[in-house]
Amino acid sequence: MFAFLDPLRDLTIIAVLFRFIYAFICGTALGFERSYKNKPAGFRTHILVCTAACTATLTGLYMYLDMGMPADISRIGGQVITGMSFLGAGTIFVTNRNTVKGLTTAAGLWTAAIAGVAIGSGFYEGALVTVILVLIAQTYFSEVRNRITYHPAFRIAVSYYTRKNLDAIIRSLKDRNLSITNLQITSNSEAAPPIYSALISIRQRGTLDRKKLLEEINRSEGIISAEEF
């Protein structure tokens, strides 16, 4: 560890002020990138989380060291990290295309809380390394992610007469190297003969002409209709 920071690891007025300023700076650094990308939690939220986590950790240290109370100095910091799960969950949502958004922002808030706990406990080096690595991941790795080819999942609704007809469609999809992630089947027993409907969630692993796929399914034996849902 850096020896020149040792005087700032005690609970002196200067050390406490340094920790608050340090937490403020770290929260600003973590949140600025989120604000720049217009994400749900910006730099103000990250500042509040990081500074509050620092305060909570300092409170535990103060209760144990200065007040002499029988307190577990690690419990408050642990509760802060656990409580951040509820705040982070508020930034996660699912779009109408069944894609999850907000996971990176939630993880960033959780990281800001951990950095605040580290600062409050005097582990300045750990907080610094954490903030630097997170900023690198959020700033530069996003470009790498954008270059990765990603094929979102899609769903098709198929109406058919017998289980044999559906099995043939499923085999056809697998032969095309398509992955079936979910399958929901309903039936209309009042019809004669009975008509079944299947909602198939598909994830493609390469290029795919969906229109051509639906045309081929519609021409299959026993298939009443097939369309993208």
Backbone angles phi, psi at 42, to 5 degrees: -95, -160
In this prediction, residue 43 carries a pLDDT of 78
Q: What's the CA gap between 63 and 53, in Å, rounded?
A: 16
Mean pLDDT of all residues belonging to the chain: 82
State the pTM of this model. 0.62
- Maximum distance among all alpha carbons in the chain? 85
- Which DSSP string do the residues of 152-180 spell out, in sequence order? --EEEEEEESSHHHHHHHHHHHHHTT-EE
Return the domain boundaries, the chain.
3-146, 154-228
Q: What is the per-residue pLDDT across 196-208, written as a single tens digit (0 to 9) for each?
A: 888 888 887 777 7
Mean pLDDT of 13-19: 91
Q: What is the per-residue pLDDT across 67-122, written as a single tens digit (0 to 9) for each?
A: 767 666 677 777 887 877 777 777 776 666 556 677 788 888 888 899 999 999 88
Q: Cα–Cα–Cα angle for 94, 95, 97, nearest 5°?
A: 120
Query: Residue 40: what residue type?
Result: P
Q: What's the CA gap between 104 and 116, in Å, rounded?
A: 18
The CATH-assigned architecture of domain 154-228 is: 2-Layer Sandwich (3.30)
Mean pLDDT of 17-24: 93
Q: What is the per-residue pLDDT across 216-228, written as a single tens digit (0 to 9) for each?
A: 888 888 888 888 8
